[in-house]
Structure 1
Amino acid sequence: MLRRLLAIAGKEVRQLKRDRLTFGMIIGVPLLQILLFGYAIDLDVRNVNAAVADHANTSLSRQVVAAAEASQIVTVTRSAAGPEALEALLDAGEIDAGIYIPHDFERRLIDADRPAGQLLINGSDPTVEGIVRRLSSMPLPGQQQPSKLFEARTYYNPEGRSPVNIVPALIGVILHLTMVLFTAIAIVRERERGNLELLITTPVKSAELMLGKIIPYVLIGLIQVSLILWVSQALFQVPIRGNIIDLYLASVVFILAALALGLLVSTLAKTQFQATQLTIFTFLPSILLSGFMFPFEGMPRIAQWIGEIIPLTHFVRLSRGILVRGADLGELHTEVWPLLAFFGVFLVLATLRFNKRLD
């Protein structure tokens, strides 16, 4: 019995040696996880993008702004004309915090019954909201004890309900997993059954074959979006503040990018099991570096650069911007173009690898 067990075990080891992709996953997955969780994921949010509307424009008001930046909680990236301009920047997703200092700022400091200024906070991310709120009670320059310096006003999710933050981003997470997996397995299954070789003998071009394969899945992805929205309304009372058409248009662009990635994965995998492995391998950094689970602002700069080349990062901003903040697609156009670029690049690479493998 021992001989038979060793023979079977030896055969399995030889099979793993021949299956380079699986062997690479044995090493790659744990390395990827330890690097992401140990280095890239940081719950200590710092340097949140902020704007300042300083109507007082005094030495003390400038010292207060400098003290806020010195705390490393916020980084002031721009100035605004007033509270309305700060709200517009919040709606567009260009900042997560706004500091409004009124013209009578120093007189308000004497009155202990009212705050001296106002802090406008993006509440669509509870972690960022909690960190920025600390500024409302920071000490004045030259003081040791904190005082009620700002009145904190939370936008979009004042109750701090988790579903309002999670569900919009969850649309992208579900679409990424299912679209990449479905497409990759569908192509590999065709190859395993010999159907792709039969299709090559027809006048259908490689690009036409690739596009034809993904068209049905666009409809499937939109059905999934509709299902998620219905459940989020029926069970979690997640508000839909923006135009639902904008959300569907953004979803189509993201679905196309995810399907093109699935096509690229299918050209790398030889079996359906390998296609599943590669899908999980792409899913891990997407879910961890996109801002879905952990605050994007809390990541090291290099992790943010990597996150910017992940399609899910841009769709998370789109879905939260439309559903939670009520922004329109025109205000969020800077997140749409990267998704279109991802779709084009992934589709071209998949088509080139398809030709190379099956010529």
Structure 2
Amino acid sequence: MRRLRAMLIKEFIQMRRDRLTLAMMLMVPVGQLLLFGFAINTDVKHLPTIVFNQSLQQDSRELLDSLAASEYFNINYVAKNFQEVNDAVDSGKAKVGIIIPPDFSDNLKHGRTATVQVIVDASDSMSASSAISAAQLIGQLKSQQILLQKVRGYTGHTAQNPYDIRIRPWYNTDFVSAFYMVPGIMGVILTMTMVMITSMAIVRERERGTLEQLIVTPLKNWELMLGKIIPYSIVGYVQVTVAIVVGIFVFDLPIRGSIGLLYILTAFFIVASLAQGIFISTVTKTQMQAMQMSFFIFLPSVLLSGFMFPREAMPLGFNLLGNLLPITFYLQIMRGIILKGVGLSILWPQVMALTLFIIIVLTISINKFQKKIV
């Protein structure tokens, strides 16, 4: 009993001395509660929407007002042609595209069915389902209003369905969940392995005492960092290759874009993930601290990046926080190339964001790393 008491006292004293480890143990549960409580919302609203209104009459404007009033559609863009709608949905700026034909108002006035085309980015099945349900419901309500006026004798509308909302799901027409999840899982696996492995790289050298061998070498700080990054980059490419092969042969994952471009842009994300790990290894002193800080980064990477939950449903603060995570942009690259078949002309903003992240984090890590035993 005395030995057990002595051991417990020793462990508590050690935890008190290791304040960073204790702080991380307290912050991770709090972070989980905040993320799950505030950021996660399966009721997706405020979807960015682009409208190509060829009618420009009162009836079309009333329909758009009804869509906007539902809070499911934020009409952020107005297109002048169909190509602008196509580009906006391809780039991800708009999740929904609404196209109203020029004869929309004439059809309503003459008792014919007025059609509206609603294009939905189905690469995100949860957002697409919300958009489809809301658009169909609003179309039914507008039709019921006209039919009710017909019963009361206010209008002579003859069509049984005055509003015909025609849904066009793009990129994943059958809503296959694997098409949406597999590209995201690739990013999550890379984040988990690259960040956690490299976060303990320098810390492990320090704990084992082999850091002294690095001190006597003529290598510069950036050369040491590069030596830590290159081997793990090869491991990352092996993981991506295995995931793509499994996705194609097991889940029938369609690769609509360039495989070569996918591998080239994957390098940016691998380096960005490794940069996070190197940064963690420079600010921690033990492998336990490095592991805990890695989990502190890994959890937001899963929840705030759009991997499982649409970012459009998150509060503004958590949405902006997701823009600080490399995986957010990599998921857009993966789904853009694999499901949409887009190229660098569409994905260059994501590439620039990853490049900027790499430059900032690696610069801080190199400046912070000291070739000496602390």
Structure 2 CA distance, aligned partners of 1:109 and 1:159?
Answer: 32
Q: Give the equivalent residue in structure 2 for 1:24.
A: 23
In the alignment, is residue 43 of structure 1 matched against residue 45 of structure 2? no
Q: Which residue of 2 aligns with 1:95?
A: 94
Paired AA for residue 4 in structure 1:
R
What one-letter code is carried by the residue in structure 2 that aligns with 1:64?
L
Deviations 1:104-135 (A, max 9, x none): 11244468885521000000011111111121
Which sections of structure 1, spanning at least 5 residues, go unmatched? none
Q: What TM-score do you get using the length of structure 1 for normalisation? A: 0.94
The answer for the alignment partner of 1:347 in structure 2 is: 362
Compared CA separation, residues 182 and 11, structure 1 to 2 (3 A): same
Structure-2 separation of matches of 1:224 and 1:113:
56
Return the offset for 1:236.
Answer: 0.7
Q: In structure 2, how many angstroms separate the alpha carbons of the residues matched to 1:335 and 1:63?
A: 36
Query: Within the alignment, does 1:137 sit opposite 2:137 as a pair?
Result: yes
Larger radius of gyration: 2
Once the two structures are TM-superposed, the CA of residue 331 in structure 1 deviates from its matched residue by 0.8
Matching residue of 1:53: 52
Q: Distance in 1 between matches of 2:326 and 2:125?
A: 23
DSSP-derived class of the 1:282 partner: helix
Query: Offset of 1:194 from its aligned partner?
Result: 2.2
1:281 corresponds, among 292, 296, 308, to 296
Name the residue aligned to 1:68.
67
Deviations along 1:310-345, one digit per CA (max 9) or x if unpaired, are 111111111111111111122111111111111111
Shifted more, 269-278 versus 168-177: the winner is: 269-278
The verdict on how the C-alpha distance between 1:192 and 1:38 changes in structure 2, with shifts beyond 3 A counting, is same
Alpha-carbon offset, residue 141 of structure 1? 9.3
Do structure 1's residue 163 and structure 2's residue 162 form an aligned pair? no
Aligned partner of 2:257 in structure 1 is 242
- Paired residues of 2:122 and 2:128 also in contact (CA < 8 A): yes
Name 2:153's counterpart in structure 1.
none
In 2, the alpha carbon distance for the partners of 1:34 and 1:120 equals 36
Q: CA deviation at 1:238?
A: 1.0
> Deviations along 1:206-245, whole A, 9 cap, x unmatched?
1111112101211111111111000001111111111111
Distance 1:60 1:15, change over 3 A: same
Correspondence for 1:269 among 284, 287, 294: 284
3-state SS of 1:26 partner: helix
Letter of the 2:142 partner, please give it: L
Q: For the Cα contact (< 8 Å) 1:241–1:322, is it kept in 2?
A: yes
User: Which amino acid in the other structure matches residue 32 of structure 1?
Assistant: G
Task: With the length of structure 2 as denominator, give the TM-score of the two structures.
Answer: 0.91
Partner of 1:337, secondary structure, is helix
Is the alpha carbon distance of 1:284 and 1:328 closer, same or farther for their aligned partners in structure 2, counting shifts above 3 Å? same
Calculate percent identity across the aligned residue pairs. 39
> Aligned equivalents of 1:150 and 1:111: distance in 2?
18
Structure 2 gaps, min length 5: 149-160
Q: Given that residues 21 and 288 in structure 2 are in contact (C-alpha distance below 8 angstroms), is that contact kept between their aligned partners in structure 1?
A: no
Please show how residues 199-214 of structure 1 align to structure 2 within 5 Å: 199-214=214-229
**Counterparts of 2:110 and 2:81, CA distance in 1:** 22
> Does the 8 Å CA contact 2:105/2:114 hold for their aligned counterparts?
no
1:83 deviates by 3.2
Q: Secondary structure at the match of 1:34?
A: helix
